[in-house]
Amino acid sequence: MKRGFLNTPRAKKQIEKSNGLETNLPKKADSIHESSPAIKVDFSYKYSYGELSETGVPKGYKNSKLENTNFPDEKKAYDPKIYIHTRLPPRQASQGLSNSGGCQTECLVSGFVKRTIHETPGFPSDPLPCPGGICYRIGDAGEKGLGVFSTRLIGAGELIIDERPLIILPSSSIFAYIDDPNFPSYTHEQQKQIQLHEQNRAMQVVYDQRREWRVYGVALFSASSFMMLAHPRFLNRRVRTNGLMVDPEQFRDADTTGDFGIYSAIYKVLSRINHSCCPNTIRKWHTDTFTHRLYAARDIPPNTEITLQYCNLLDSSAERAQALAPYGISACTCSPACNGDPAQIKLSSERRARTKRALSSILFPPKHFTPGVSRDRWLLPAIERLRDLEEEQLEGLRHYKGVLFTLTEAYIHLCDVEKALMYGRKLKKVYKAWMGEELDPMYWTEKGIRASPMYRTGMLIAAGEGYMRIT
């Protein structure tokens, strides 16, 4: 992604320094601000993308009052519509974290979300260490600014980093309560300018706290990393450009849907990872550790750029280009799916469009197999779907995991151990990234497959003694 503010001489001088991955934690507990200020906000419509004819707030507009209310950290019965500035996880849970991505996060979250965080089983747990050690570096990515690159072969399914954010903020669909009685009389564009202005002021509270950490010597390098990413005059723009969405299924304001009530997080490392329409990683948010985990979706050779997705990868090339425009990506050239010849682009779009369609025809095996016809013929749609995903290099999508599950279970049911192992071992590599736990050996070891209920039932069916639906 083209990030002008990361392409400056100052930013490039920090590249080698940024590769020092240990977080400088304080030797004693932080004593800055014993209480947490809160800011009232409300929901509004989604902002449009494009240039405004005028910038700044209208003449005569008076800033809204940001109400600060002190809450003790142990309080949980927050007003769900109050946005609280807090620091998570508690300091005692963050001691001793050095190279695992651990630090405290400056947060602006609703009372509902804060209560949800504290009630999450296992919170606060430490980030996971990477078994193979640090396997990446931050470096020059040409026109895209900075990027993250592998320093060795990273195997499919390997944990690359489990990183806690520097800062978490509501996405751009919220704004502070507007006090100005003249607000309804302003034009639509002026109202949007006011909303962005007030949102930026709310974000400034959290940003200033991060700067105070630097003054007090707490998490010193994390503070400087954040200041490289977010210039105080353009916080909401920096958040939109560099923020990664926190999983709405785990982290969302009460009674909200769609683009409302969601959050973005900014990271020291993950925020520097650029987009690809064929990304080589899988990322997932974990509230118990308060981290984003990044896994390799396929083998990543040494000195290869590590990439993420910024848009819906199953959209057509034209639709993806439109979605990437707000990120400053005017012409995506990440793969043949974007910059190949017209025939290649058309073929890629057709494959991705097919992936959107459900595979309902393969949920159940046939009741009777025709003599002389392959017993796995009914699985051809799933096999073709898997081929489409692999040729498009979309191993990081949930669809890939789903198709592998279908094929693995089907071949176990058919008692075809060789093919069950082939698909089960592929499934094992992506399963942990999505589910947070190891895949049961009944899917990927010969001993486990032969001992599984599906295999035993398949043996009975082969002997003509029953019928079972595949689920």
Q: How confident is the model at residue 32 (pLDDT cuts 50, 70, 90)?
A: very low
Which of the residue ranges 136-145, 152-161, 195-204 would you say has the lowest mean pLDDT? 195-204
Comparing CA positions, the residue from 157, 167, 193, 182 lying closest to residue 50 is: 193
**Average of pLDDT values for 144-153?**
93
pLDDT score of 446 more than 90: yes
Does the N-terminal peptide bond of residue 365 adopt cis geometry, omega within 30 degrees of 0? no
Q: What are phi and psi of 144, to 5 degrees?
A: -80, -5
**Which CATH code for domain 4-310?**
2.170.270.10
DSSP reduced 3-state for 335: coil
pLDDT score of 448 more than 90: yes
Residue 203 is classified by DSSP as: H
Measured in whole angstroms, how far is the alpha carbon of residue 311 from the centre of its chain? 11
How many Å from the N-terminal Cα to the C-terminal Cα in the chain? 41
Q: How confident is the model at residue 233 (pLDDT cuts 50, 70, 90)?
A: low
* CA distance linking residue 350 with residue 306, whole number of Å: 26
Task: State both tokens at 21.
Answer: 């991955």
**Average of pLDDT values for 384-402?**
94
**Contact (CB, 8 A) for 11 and 229:** no
pTM above 0.85? no
Tell me: the pLDDT tens digits for 290-310? Answer: 999 999 999 999 999 999 998
- Beta-carbon neighbour count of residue 311 at 10 Å? 18
Q: Residue 439: what pLDDT? A: 95
Given the structure tokens 């910024």, which residue do they identify?
310
Element at 191 (helix H, strand E): helix 188-216
* CA distance linking residue 162 with residue 130, whole number of Å: 8
Delimit the CATH 2.170.270.10 region(s) of the chain. Answer: 4-310
* CA distance linking residue 378 with residue 376, whole number of Å: 5
- Beta-carbon neighbour count of residue 182 at 10 Å? 12
**Average of pLDDT values for 249-278?**
87
> Positive or negative, the Cα torsion across 323, 329, 332, 334?
negative
Tell me: the pLDDT tens digits for 315-370? Answer: 888 888 888 887 777 777 777 778 768 888 888 889 999 998 887 655 566 666 67
Radius of gyration over alpha carbons of the chain, in Å? Answer: 25
